[in-house]
Structure formats: C-alpha cells, structure tokens
C-alpha cells in the first residue's frame, strides 16, 4: 500500500530537512535520472522539470501528518520547509519499500542552490542529446537564467559524481 | 506559393458543440487532420473510463484537439499587431495546438502506469518519426517538425508560444474544461472564455491577463477545481480505473508466467515486454483493447476473467473513505483476511489516492517553482500574481484537499456464508 508515498518518505527521512519546493522537485528528478526508482511523472516547465504528481503526493503526506510543512514569508514569495514527523517514521517502519543508499547523493544536492539544481536537472532532461547539443539547448531554453560556462562545467562534474555514487 | 502559406480555396468548417464552428483555412492544417495518426484520435476517448459514470462522456481526443486548435486560432487573431507577438510563429502555434495530444494511447493513464510509457515521448516520435504527420511538417520547412515537437515538449525557445498551449491558463485547459462539462452534462466547467481571450496579452515570455479580466479568470479557476472533484476524480470512475489497471497487471503477469491465452494477445505483446515501437503503439486503440477484454471473458484464469467481466458489464468495486495514517493496522488485517478467504488482495483490495490522478489545481507556489498566472496592472504594466489579487483564488489555492479510498468487491464478500468469522470481521472493519 502507498509504495510511491513510502519512497518519497524515505527520501525525506534520509534528507532530514528539505528547504524549498523548487529544490525538492529538482532533487527527486535528479535522483530519478540516476536510476533511483521514483515513479512520479515529470514534464518540462518554465523552470525545468516539474512533477505535478510529486506536488500532490507531498500534499497528501502533509495532510496525513507524515510530513510537516512550515511556510515562511520571504516578503515577495513564500518558502517551505519539510521534515518527517513521528507518525511518518512509524509509517516507514511498516513499509516494505527499499531504496538504494541515497545519503551522500542527497547531501551533495542539499549543499547546492536551487538555481544550480535547475541547471543540472535541465541538462539531465536532455540526456538523449550529445554534450554539445545539451549545452546549446540549455542556453536556448534557459536564456533568462544566463548560465555561465563555469557553471555548466561544474554541472557536468556534479552529474558524473552523482552517477558514480548511484552505481556504488 | 510556399506550402506553409497555401490557403484552401474555400474555408472548411467543422460543426462543434463547444465552439460552434472550427475554422480551417491553412492547407497544412487541413492536410494534418487527414493523416492516419490524427484520425486515430477518433478512437481514443478524451475521458477514458468516465463514460461508465457519465454516459455522455464518449467524446474523443480528436474533438478536443480540434477544439484546442480553434482556441489558439482565435487567440492569435486577437494578438495580431500587438507588441511582443510575431505573426511568423502563427502556423507553428496552430500545428502544435492541433497535434499536442497525438501520442495519447488507449485509456492513457492506466496504460502509462502499468506499461511504463509516456504519451509525450510518443507524440515526439509521431511528429519526428516516419509518419504521415512528419512528411507534412517536413514540407513546411527545414526544422519545422523539430520546432513543433519542441513547442509540445515545452522546450521551444520562445516561451510565449509554449504558454499558449501549455501554462496555467492555456488553450488546452480552456477546451477540455468546457468540452468535458458539455459531454458529461454537469453544470460545472463553464466560464466566459470569450472574455478571457479578449483580455489575454502577449509579453516577452508568457501570456498574461489584463487586471480587468480577473473575475473571468476566477471563474475559470473555480471550474478547474470543481471539475476535478465532480468529474475527473469521481469515485465511480476511479473504481473503473482501478479495475482497468488490475486487468492490465493481471494480463502482463500471466504473460510473464507463460500462461497460454486462448486468444493470443498479439497487440499487447510488446507492451507486456515493455518494448513498444511506434507502429505497434499506433495500432492499439480503445476498440482493440475492448475486443481483448471481451475475448478474455472466455479465459481459464479466474482473476482475469472476473476483472474483465466487471469492466465490460460495469460491476465495479465499492469503496469506503480511508485514512492510511489512522487505519494502517486495519488495512494490514484486511489484507490477511482477504487472503484467508481466497480473494487475492493484490487485485481486490486497492487503495486509490488523489495523487494517482494528478491534476494541476491552481497554486501560486514558491518563487520559481512553476509559472503562475500574472495579471497586468493598468497603470505601470507591472505583473502581479493572481492569488495575491483575488480573494477567491487565494481561498481555494491555499487549500490542500486530498483523498484516499479503499476499493473492494462488495458483491463477492456478500456471497460468503453469514456465519463465516472472516466475513463478519471484514464487514466490521469496512462498515463499523
């Protein structure tokens, strides 16, 4: 029962705390592209890959009391913080869902800005293209973000690192 | 004259119950409608299993695709000569609008989940692959087919073009809300589209709405909210969807166990193997799927036979409201009780959640999470997010309403002997 919910709960439990919905969206997408079996469907949106299914699933987990959501007013926008609750931990104890080790990958992503994770997830979205085509595509679809060459190079390194971690 | 500019000698019109008339003047659009890939959409229902709840909901993705095309055509008519709009993008927008749902398969949602498919991948394959559609798009110009695929995939450079087909207030949603309301017969889903089209303005990277159009947009947001709970997530439709999904799971499982089907599921083989090519995908439509469900009524496997019988003859599962947090131990007990009475809980005891049918309620969200609806202020051309201006939208967009139900075959449980202890305990848990 609720296997997909349990996978997301495992992610939150490993992450301890996730700050920002955009960051959450991109982190799950990046893990998915590293073959972690999340089943939420993603589409490309204005700010890169986005999953309505994930948004709704997180709302359900909040409503069930398995995750706490704290809304912070940042004057011109809101920011959300997520943590697993005691009830959530109990739910996870009943669940038989297993995931590969995620801790180091999650920690690496938590250190990065949501802007950087937007770049990484956008590059991964086009991973059926050649490296040069991916970079051209990023400059086309992310024109307003104005990503610099150094950021793109850092993103390639980051992707390599994550993929190495996911296979270990 | 270049093919892209060719016009029909006389305008063609389709009678349409939602938009009255759908007008076609471009030769390219007329040719695309005539392709086998587009005609196939006549055999894919827009609302999947909803016809088992709302008997009128037999309309197809063909109807809807024409409707989206018509709305975009009207928007672009209003955009002509406005700042930020380049009319060279007109044909691209019309083609993308017409073809945006091309890759939908039969009973799309369940098929995608069970067989790990993505209709958007197939839309791209149809647009870019060896198809009649692609031949027409190639004739328009070099790179045109790729541009159409990029607009549909939302990766096209000009975000304004993308936002016409796909954003929080786009032609796709405006058509399906009205069309689904019309064919289901419900009184929700209506809003003043003509007013919204008149107050839409192109900006550099998105369509925005003049502040004076806010109340029309409020109506549209309310329609989305009501249609989800009253139509799209109707519990009886969900019951049909649960059964459909379990039929597909069972058939796949039997195939993997080398079960000898009396009616060899030829059209499904590549789906079971999760290795579907474009031609196989295009061959499977809802008439074929329903043919197999009929054929499987003769199978020896009792689970497959029973599930098909339920779907074909509308003997759906019943349901109760279910809270996975408060009723976790009860669910585990039910699972064991079902096993004890030889009813496989994997197929006959199903929790269905609102996230199993994701629907994009309007949410302002966090900064840069996703693009909200923006209202254009009259004095300074400033953009303000809708829910910060509208109390009505704020009230419903902040609310997180989610839902979980437990589905089960009540008819089978009722047939158990009255004095069977498992039956008494199951009824106690389910109905108190």
In the numeric block, which tokens belong to residue B413? 């449980």
The share of chain B scoring above pLDDT 90, in percent, equals: 81
B353:A144 CB<8 A = no
Number of domains comprising chain A: 1
What is the distance in angstroms between the Cα of A63 and the nearest Cα belonging to chain B?
7
Q: Could you tell me the residue ranges of all domains in chain B?
A: 3-231, 235-356+403-431
Residues of chain B contacting A4 with CB distance shorter than 8 Å = 355
Split at pLDDT 50, 70, 90, the class of B367 is low
Task: With beta carbons less than 8 A apart as the criterion, state whether A139 and A119 touch.
Answer: no
Instruction: Evaluate if residue B401 carries a pLDDT over 80.
Output: no
CB-nearest to B370 from A47, A56, A114 is: A47
- Using CA coordinates, name the residue in chain A closest to B161: A46
Is the Cβ of B365 closer than 8 Å to some Cβ of chain A? Answer: yes
Its pTM stands at 0.93
Quick one: which H or E segment has residue B25? strand B20-26
Quick one: which H or E segment has residue A68? strand A67-73
Read off the pLDDT of residues A82-99 as tens digits, 9 standing for 90 and up.
Answer: 999 999 999 898 888 888
In the numeric block, which tokens belong to residue A162? 């994550």
Q: Which of B316, B280, B296, B294 is nearest to B49 (CA)?
A: B316
A1:B353 CB<8 A = no
A52:B360 CB<8 A = yes
Q: How far apart are CA B317 and CA B409, in angstroms?
A: 5
Exposure string over B250-276, b if 16+ CB within 10 A, otherwise e: bbbbbbeeeeebeeebeebebbbeeeb
What is the distance in angstroms between the Cα of B402 and the nearest Cα belonging to chain A?
6
Residues of chain A contacting B112 with CB distance shorter than 8 Å = 41
Residues of chain B contacting A45 with CB distance shorter than 8 Å = 154, 370-371
Residues of chain B contacting A140 with CB distance shorter than 8 Å = 155, 157
B363:A91 CB<8 A = no
Residues 6+ apart with CB under 8 A from B107: B45, B48, B49, B244, B286, B289
Q: What is the CATH number of domain B3-231?
A: 1.10.3210.10
What's the fold here for domain B235-356+403-431? Growth Hormone; Chain: A; (1.20.1250)
B-facing residues of A in 47-66 (CB < 8 A) are 47, 50-53, 55-57, 59-60, 62-66
- Using CA coordinates, name the residue in chain B closest to A140: B157
Is the Cβ of B155 closer than 8 Å to some Cβ of chain A? Answer: yes
Predicted ipTM? 0.86
pLDDT at B132: 98
3-state secondary structure of B116: coil
- Give the pairing of strands B374-376 and B207-210: parallel
Instruction: Evaluate if residue B188 carries a pLDDT over 80.
Output: yes
Q: Which of B68, B254, B263, B274 is nearest to B171 (CA)?
A: B68
| Average pLDDT over every residue of B424-432 | 94
The secondary structure of residue B233, as a DSSP letter, is T
Residues 6+ apart with CB under 8 A from B43: B60, B106, B285, B286, B287
Instruction: Evaluate if residue B368 carries a pLDDT over 90.
Output: no
Given a cut of 50, the residues of chain A with pLDDT beneath it are none
Instruction: Please indicate whether residue B380 or residue B428 has the higher confidence score (pLDDT).
Output: B428
pLDDT at A95: 86
Listed in order, strand segments (DSSP E) in B314-387 are 318-321, 350-353, 374-376, 383-385
Read off the pLDDT of residues B88-130 as tens digits, 9 standing for 90 and up.
Answer: 999 999 999 999 999 999 998 899 999 999 999 999 999 999 9
pLDDT at A168: 63
A144:B205 CB<8 A = yes
Split at pLDDT 50, 70, 90, the class of B366 is low
Instruction: Evaluate if residue B250 carries a pLDDT over 90.
Output: yes
Range(s) of the domain holding residue A53: 3-167
The share of chain B scoring above pLDDT 70, in percent, equals: 98
């Amino acid at each position: 029962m609720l296997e997909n919910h349990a996978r997301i709960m495992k992610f939150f439990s490993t992450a301890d705390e996730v700050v920002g919905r955009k960051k959450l969206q991109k982190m799950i997408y990046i893990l998915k592209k590293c073959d972690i079996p999340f089943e939420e469907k993603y589409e490309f949106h204005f700010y890169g890959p986005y999953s309505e299914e994930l948004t709704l699933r997180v709302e359900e987990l909040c409503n069930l009391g398995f995750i706490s959501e704290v809304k912070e007013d940042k004057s011109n926008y809101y920011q959300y913080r997520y943590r697993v609750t005691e009830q959530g931990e109990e739910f996870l104890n009943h669940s038989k869902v297993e995931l590969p080790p995620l801790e180091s990958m999650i920690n690496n992503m938590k250190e990065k800005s949501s802007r950087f994770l937007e770049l990484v997830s956008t590059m991964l979205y086009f991973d059926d293209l050649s490296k040069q085509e991916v970079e051209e595509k990023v400059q086309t679809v992310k024109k307003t973000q104005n990503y610099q060459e150094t950021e793109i190079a850092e993103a390639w390194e980051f992707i390599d690192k994550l993929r190495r971690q996911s296979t270990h | 004259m270049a093919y892209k500019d060719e016009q029909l000698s006389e305008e063609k019109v389709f009678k349409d119950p939602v938009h009255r008339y759908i007008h076609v003047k471009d030769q390219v659009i007329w040719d695309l409608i005539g392709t086998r890939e587009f005609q196939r959409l006549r055999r894919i229902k827009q609302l999947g299993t909803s016809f088992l709840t709302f008997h009128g909901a037999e309309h197809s993705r063909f109807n809807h695709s024409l409707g989206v095309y018509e709305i975009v055509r009207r928007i672009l008519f209003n955009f002509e000569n406005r700042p930020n709009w380049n009319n060279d993008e007109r044909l691209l927008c019309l083609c993308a609008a017409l073809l945006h749902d091309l890759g939908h398969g039969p009973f799309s949602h369940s098929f995608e989940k069970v067989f790990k498919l993505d209709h958007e991948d197939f839309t791209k394959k149809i647009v870019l692959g060896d198809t009649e559609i692609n031949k027409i798009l190639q004739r328009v110009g070099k790179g045109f087919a790729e541009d159409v695929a990029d607009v549909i995939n939302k990766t096209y450079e000009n975000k304004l073009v993308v936002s016409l087909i796909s954003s929080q207030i786009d032609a796709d949603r405006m058509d399906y809300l009205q069309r689904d309301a019309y064919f289901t017969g419900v009184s929700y889903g209506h809003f003043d589209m003509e007013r919204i089209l008149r107050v839409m303005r192109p900006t550099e990277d998105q369509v925005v709405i003049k502040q004076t159009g806010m109340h029309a947009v409020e109506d549209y947001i309310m329609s989305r909210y009501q249609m989800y709970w009253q139509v799209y997530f109707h519990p009886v439709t969900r019951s049909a969807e649960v059964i459909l999904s379990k039929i597909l799971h069972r058939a796949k499982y039997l195939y993997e166990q080398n079960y000898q089907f009396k009616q060899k599921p030829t059209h499904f083989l590549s789906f079971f193997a999760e290795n579907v090519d474009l031609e196989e995908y295009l061959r499977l439509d809802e008439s074929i799927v329903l043919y197999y469900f009929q054929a499987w009524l003769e199978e020896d496997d009792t689970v497959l036979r029973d599930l098909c019988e339920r779907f074909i003859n509308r003997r759906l599962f019943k349901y109760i409201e279910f809270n996975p947090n408060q009723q976790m131990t009860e669910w585990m007990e039910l699972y064991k009780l079902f096993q004890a009475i030889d009813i496989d809980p994997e197929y006959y005891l199903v929790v269905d959640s609102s996230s199993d049918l994701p629907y994009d309620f309007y949410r302002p969200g966090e900064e840069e999470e996703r693009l909200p609806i923006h209202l254009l202020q009259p004095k300074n051309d400033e953009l303000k997010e809708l829910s910060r201006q509208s109390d009505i939208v704020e009230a419903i967009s902040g609310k997180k309403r989610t839902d979980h139900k437990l589905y089960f075959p009540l008819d089978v449980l009722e047939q158990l002997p009255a004095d069977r202890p498992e039956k008494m305990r199951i009824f106690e848990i389910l109905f108190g």
